[in-house]
């Protein structure tokens, strides 16, 4: 957010305009969170008076305090329900949040694969030597079946 502000900040006259822009462009749950803040813009009791305040309050409301634990839980429940490419993309995203060794990641990836894809991989000789090779093989096999 702060990177965007550095680039686009000059189009706003003051911090109040920046904050108002950010708050009125929220959607979903964030929009519900923004409403009371919009009502307080310009008042002394407002929590958000400058962009740093916005970032702090937004993070307090929406950041997951234990993103690693959440990612571990998600990756262990992740299964291929559509394409291997979609499964692989989601797996890679979650993989960035956790600190597992290559063997554990590979085992978890295999466990979540569609059984038909996994059966084809199990019959391969030689076996894919790395997690990356396993992912590529799964996507290729899934694209053919």
Quote the pTM value. Answer: 0.60
pLDDT per position as a tens digit, 77-121: 999 999 999 999 999 999 998 999 999 999 999 999 999 999 999
pLDDT computed for residue 59 by the predictor:
87
Residue whose structure tokens are 């429940």: 77
For the chain, what percentages of helix, strand and coil (3-state, to nearest 5) are there?
Answer: 70, 0, 30
* Gap between the Cα atoms of 98 and 115, Å rounded: 25
* Gap between the Cα atoms of 113 and 119, Å rounded: 10
Answer whether 26's CB lies under 8 Å from 1's CB.
no
pLDDT per position as a tens digit, 15-55: 899 999 999 999 999 999 999 999 999 889 999 999 999 99
Please report which confidence band the pLDDT of residue 2 belongs to, taking 50, 70 and 90 as the band edges.
low
């Amino acid at each position: 957010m702060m990177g965007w502000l550095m680039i686009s900040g000059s189009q706003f006259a003051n911090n109040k305009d920046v904050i108002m822009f950010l708050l009125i462009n929220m959607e979903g749950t964030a929009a519900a969170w923004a409403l009371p803040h919009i009502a307080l813009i310009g008042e002394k009791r407002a929590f958000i008076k400058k962009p740093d305040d916005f970032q702090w309050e937004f993070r307090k409301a929406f950041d997951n305090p234990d993103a690693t634990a959440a990612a571990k839980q998600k990756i262990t429940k992740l299964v291929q329900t559509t394409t291997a490419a979609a499964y692989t993309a989601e797996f890679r995203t979650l993989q960035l949040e956790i600190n597992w060794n290559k063997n554990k990641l590979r085992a978890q990836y295999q466990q979540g694969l569609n059984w038909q894809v996994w059966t084809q991989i199990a019959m391969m000789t030689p076996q894919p030597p790395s997690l990356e090779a396993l992912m590529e093989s799964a996507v290729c096999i899934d694209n053919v079946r």
